[in-house]
Amino acid sequence: MQTILVTGGCGFIGAHTIVDLVENGFNVISIDNLSRASDASLLGIEKITGKKITNYTIDLTDKAATEAVFIANPDIVGIIHFAAYKAVGESVEKPLDYYENNISSLVHLLQMAVKYNAPHFIFSSSCTVYGNPDTIPVTENTPLQTAASPYGATKQMGETIVKDAAFAHPLSTILLRYFNPVGAHPSTAIGELPIGRPQNLVPAITQTAIGKLPKMQVHGNDYDTRDGSCIRDYIHVCDIAHAHTLAIQYSMKNNQLNSCEIFNLGTGNGITVLEAIHAFEKVSSVQLNYEIGPRRAGDIVSIYANNDHAVNHLKWHCKYDLEDMMRTAWQWEQSIAK
């Protein structure tokens, strides 16, 4: 069995990806310092897959501790690197924390990938790198724009670092640009656990519906879109997770060293905030307490993916639609309220 190291394995996308990797026959180990996630995810993964996953609770900015994991696990052939800080607003207040954490952890992991011959490397990137695009849907060749936040800058720099490392060393690397991952595993054993007041739309919806938040705001309905609210490409976290398994398999099959390939991971459907809310209301039968508020600073008006590259080359197909995303997010919220 081939061992894949997943960093950030206790986080939202990391935990769902571990489930998918295990279900597809991979041996998985995790590194997560638990600074932004809980190791309860490991119990959820075990509940779904029957497998106990080893998590090393170490910090990837600690190079010696990172190296020790590679020394203890000489069978690591691939790395999927999720671990990073990801709050846009916080990154504006604490840019140096973001640069230190997100960049040094990536550099250390790439150094270990080279030194310990783990050539298959997948990096979590983001549609943030496109900024406010001139044309939509965006393809992988759409020009990138200046990052709107230090968080976004760490993703752009991360892409450059991975690309440069791949050209200089025998690595087969893939950059996955996620659009808006939402929903939860249908078992409700794992899902998203936002820290503090949720900034993202779907946790704000489900927390309002369950009564954790009294009311939520739609950030602007005066944009030039079909109903005035912003357009995003929401995608089920299990579809995102499966794309990682396909990407690792693709990298292993082609074994093209000195390569760096980019894939957009979105459904290709642009959905407005109000459409997302109405889909939630339909599947939950809850009337959401929301009001129209002002625009949120820094919001992009409209973005969604052209996902042809992932469909054609990874043979990736989204299984979950918008209602499935809302249904599973709602089931998860209800399960953690118990």
Chain residues that interact with ligand WQD, rule: CB under 6 A:
86, 88, 126, 128, 178, 180, 199-201, 204, 216-219, 230, 232, 273, 296, 299
CA atoms within 13 A on the CB side of 264: 27
| Residues 332/164, Cβ–Cβ less than 8 Å | no
Q: How far is the CB of 300 from ligand WQD (least distance, A)?
A: 7
Beta pairing partners, 164: none
Residue closer to ligand WQD (CB basis): 13 or 238: 13
Helix boundaries (H) for 285-338: 308-309, 322-337
**Considering the complex, what minimum distance in angstroms separates the CB of residue 98 from ligand WQD?**
12
Q: Toward ligand WQD, which CB reaches closer, 18 or 273?
A: 273
170: CB partners within 8 A, 6+ apart = 114, 119, 257, 258
Q: Which is nearer to ligand WQD, 23 or 321 (CB)?
A: 321
Is position 151 annotated as part of the catalytic site?
yes
- Asked if residue 252 lies in contact with residue 4, where contact means CB atoms within 8 angstroms, the answer is no
Q: CA of 291: how far to CAs of 166, 208, 228, 323, in Å? A: 48, 12, 14, 22
Which among 252, 269, 338, 272 has a CA at the least distance from the CA of 306?
269
Cα 18 to Cα 40: distance, rounded to the nearest angstrom? 14
Choice between 119 and 152, CB closer to ligand WQD: 152
Task: State the nearest-atom distance from the C-beta of 58 to ligand WQD, in Å.
Answer: 24
SS3 229: coil
Query: 149 to each of 3, 62, 93, 98, 295, how far by Cα in Å?
Result: 35, 25, 10, 10, 17
The residue among 59 and 90 lying less far from ligand WQD, judged by its C-beta, is: 90
Distance in Å, CB of 87 to ligand WQD, minimum = 8
Q: Which of 56, 130, 151, 320 is catalytic?
A: 151
CA dihedral 280, 9, 258, 98 (to 10 degrees): 80
Residue 170 CA, chain-centre distance (Å), reads 26
Decide whether 91 or 188 has the Cβ nearer to ligand WQD: 91
Q: Report the nearest approach of ligand WQD to the CB of residue 200 (Å).
A: 3
CB of 193 vs ligand WQD, minimal distance in Å: 15
Catalytic residues, by residue number, are 151
